[in-house]
Structure 1
Amino acid sequence: MHKQSRLTTYILIALALGILTGYIVHAKMENPVGFADSMSLLTTLFLRLIKMIIAPLVFSTLVVGIARMGDASEVGRIGIKTMGWFFIASVMSLSLGLVLVNLFRPGDALLGHMAATASAKVELATSSLTLKDFVTHLVPASIVDGMAKNEILQIVIFSLFFGSAAAAVGKKAEIMVDALDGVAHVMLKVTGYVMKFAPIAVFAAVAGVIAKSGLGVLSTYGVFMAEFYLGIVLLWCLLIFAGFLFLKGRVFGLMKELRGPALLAFSTASSEAAYPKTLEGLERFGVKNRIAAFVLPIGYSFNLDGSMMYCTFATVFIAQAYGIEMSLGQQMTMMMVLMLTSKGMAGVPRASLVVIAATLSQFNIPEAGMLLLLGIDHFLDMARSATNVIGNGVATAVVAKWEGELLEPGQEDEMVKDAA
């Protein structure tokens, strides 16, 4: 069995065993919360291992990719194409969330039951998402601090300057660029070691959540979750269709390569956890490293499709639960606000919830509505994270196609062999 397929199989088995174990513990053990806390140690350890990889991997691959592109005009051209795709995908994701929440109106089922919670407070740092703070946050005061905190957007900004300068210096920087290329390959090998721990982490994450909350957490808001997951499926179809327009039948091969990373993101509810394997999968698909290393990190800050769809869907859902009718104009304004604030999601704990809470306060919707989502947010985040992987994978492959940097079938194996 191919090692990628084997890992995917192990993760699926771990997912099923986690649900079963969590259910048994919740039903039989006297202290399921203690069990959940113990399991969280394994999940935390795995996510810390992943985060340990991200900063050096993003920096080395992005700098090497830019330095080997050559002149700044090429970087600018690819950047414009990348941001153009991200803008279209963002509008599509936000609009789909609005359309579906107005069509299904899931909040109406809770209408009249929310008055008692209207004055409750939710502890989320909404102030960190103002436009001023976001723009200031773009540039790191220290790249060491940015790397220490895994601030992907800051690492990307520094890497853009560093890679462009290396390209401008020319021959004198070649030794350094080659060294960073070596760092990138070493970090990908480290990724392989860390991924062997993934099934255990998936088992621990799912078992812990089910043990603590029971299967009831899946059924209490079953209708809302079902409608949101339907929206995720529709978004996947739109993303795959958009990819098909440019990649033709090869888009299905791309989905095969992204299956493992998407499943990992789904199981751990973390897009970051899937970043290294997504990069590897894109290179196996035929995307040249210099494109993948350039587009993918930017996508993790600017192209979180699943998270953006969730923001519009959840915000209007809360308004409906309080009987607050938002006009079309208000919803369009909200969509534009989310277009900006969602770009600061990367690296923010419970990012989507923070963005939603900030948006609620701007439209006079009770922030206590967040309490409706806290219990099931982990399961919603699983779908969001997997969708973010798919959206960024399609975007990277399409940009590579536009640039003529997508290898034909059969050539990918040679490229991966060289990178090994």
Structure 2
Amino acid sequence: MDVGDWKLEICGGGHSQRACSECLLSGNDESMTAAGPQQARRPWFRPSLTTQIMIGLVVGGVIGWLRPDWGNAVYFLRDIFINLIKSIIAPLVFSTIVAGIAGAGALRKVGRMGIKALIYFEIVTTAALIIGLAVVNFIKPGAGVTLVATNIDAIKTIEQSHPKTFVETIVHVFPSSVIDAMVRGDVLQIVAFSVLFALAVSAIGERGKPIIRAMESLAQIMFKFTNYVMMFAPIGVGAAMAHTIGTQGPGVLVNLGKLIGSLYLALVIFILSIFGLVIWIARIPLRQFVRAVREPAALAFATTSSESALPKAMESMERFGVPSHIVGFVMPTG
């Protein structure tokens, strides 16, 4: 299947041929499980990450409901999980972009890929805004809901802030210190520096090969590190839910049910209409794509943070067959 600048050859299990080879060599049983009935299947007592996260949500909610003090006591586990996720992003984005662009020699494609990505982001974001506004104005989910301010200083800061101008936004993209950008977790600045660094590495030819090999190794290490952190995901998600229910009570779910329902109605409409159209145009195999994104989607849903799902999403897309330089550039930018 030809999709834009990359070609995807899907195996029986929904992975690219390249990804399947890597999975087989690494002993990853997930790809072998999907490949067919002749392959080893995941034992019933070892559920998928998606199932584990959902179990963590339910268990955390029950703990927060029955023992609110326990819910407050375990909140630090959520902070540990989020901090570990944030620690992955900078080295993972940097290594995948440098290894992908410099290693593949895709210099001419960088500009074209960036323009396509920006156009896509603009169109999809505009469509999302239109759908969201339509649903909100039709259902009016905020009517009758009283939100209590818990951090007055934060609210005042938001009120005093103002949107950046176009020039300020462009200037902000380029960091004065990449170390500072990594410390602050400014993904856009990390992407900008990584692309320029990759172009410089590619420009020096053979002398840049050691850097490329080092970045490829670092990317593989960070993907393995991501797998280790994901083992902690159900606990971190459960702790977050336990704290929410423990501090605000189960009634918060009922009181905001209409608001939450409106949100997910808008998401369903957006996914079926916009993403469905994109999948149809690009001829992406739907079942394999859903299998690839279900774990990152469940993680983003449970933590209410797309940042926490980024490392797992990048790993899933590479396994799906998307070239690393596209994954490393497009996903963090989006």
Question: Normalising by the residue count of structure 2, what TM-score does the alignment of the two structures yield?
Answer: 0.79
Q: How do residues 130-149 of structure 1 correspond to structure 2 at under 5 angstroms? A: 130-131=164-165, 133-149=168-184
**Counterpart position of 2:157:** 124
Amino acid across the alignment from 2:268: V
**Counterpart position of 1:15:** 57
**Of 275, 279, 287, which aligns to 2:322?**
287
Amino acid across the alignment from 1:161: L
Rate the CA distance shift 1:266–1:142 in 2: closer, same or farther, 3 A.
Answer: same
**Counterpart position of 1:385:** none
Query: Once the 2 structures are TM-superposed, how far is the Cα of residue 133 of structure 1 from its aligned partner?
Result: 4.5
**Counterpart position of 1:42:** 77
> Are 2:48 and 1:6 aligned?
yes
Question: Normalising by the residue count of structure 1, what TM-score does the alignment of the two structures yield?
Answer: 0.63
**Of 85, 96, 101, which aligns to 2:136?**
101
Summarize deviations over 1:252-308 as a string: whole Å, max 9, x none: 311111101111111122212111111111122121222212211111xxxxxxxxx
Where does structure 1 lack aligned partners over 5 or more consecutive residues?
27-31, 300-420
**Counterpart position of 1:225:** 260
**Counterpart position of 1:325:** none
Amino acid across the alignment from 2:156: E
Rate the CA distance shift 1:232–1:75 in 2: closer, same or farther, 3 A.
Answer: same
Amino acid across the alignment from 2:53: I
Preserved CA contact (<8 Å) 1:11 1:264: yes
Rate the CA distance shift 1:195–1:20 in 2: closer, same or farther, 3 A.
Answer: same
Higher helix share: 1
> Are 2:287 and 1:252 aligned?
yes
Query: Once the 2 structures are TM-superposed, how far is the Cα of residue 227 of structure 1 from its aligned partner?
Result: 1.6
Identity of aligned residues (%): 37
Residues paired across the two proteins, number: 286
Q: How do residues 353-392 of structure 1 correspond to structure 2 at under 5 angstroms? A: none
Residues in 1 aligned to 2:296 and 2:77: alpha-carbon distance in whole angstroms: 19
Query: Once the 2 structures are TM-superposed, how far is the Cα of residue 174 of structure 1 from its aligned partner?
Result: 1.2
Q: Give the aligned CA root-mean-square deviation in angstroms.
A: 2.4
**Of 24, 40, 49, which aligns to 2:66?**
24
Q: How do residues 190-229 of structure 1 correspond to structure 2 at under 5 angstroms? A: 190-229=225-264
Query: Once the 2 structures are TM-superposed, how far is the Cα of residue 62 of structure 1 from its aligned partner?
Result: 0.8
Residues in 2 aligned to 1:94 and 1:61: alpha-carbon distance in whole angstroms: 31
Task: Give secondary structure in 1 for the equivalent of 2:61.
Answer: helix
Query: Once the 2 structures are TM-superposed, how far is the Cα of residue 202 of structure 1 from its aligned partner?
Result: 1.0
Query: Once the 2 structures are TM-superposed, how far is the Cα of residue 36 of structure 1 from its aligned partner?
Result: 4.0
Query: Once the 2 structures are TM-superposed, how far is the Cα of residue 109 of structure 1 from its aligned partner?
Result: 4.5
**Counterpart position of 1:174:** 209
Amino acid across the alignment from 2:286: V
Q: Which has the higher contact order (CA 8 A, sep 6+)?
A: 2
Residues in 2 aligned to 1:275 and 1:287: alpha-carbon distance in whole angstroms: 15
Residues in 2 aligned to 1:240 and 1:256: alpha-carbon distance in whole angstroms: 15
> Are 2:132 and 1:90 aligned?
no
**Counterpart position of 1:306:** none
Where does structure 2 lack aligned partners over 5 or more consecutive residues?
1-40
Amino acid across the alignment from 1:13: I
Query: Once the 2 structures are TM-superposed, how far is the Cα of residue 57 of structure 1 from its aligned partner?
Result: 0.5
Residues in 2 aligned to 1:53 and 1:175: alpha-carbon distance in whole angstroms: 22
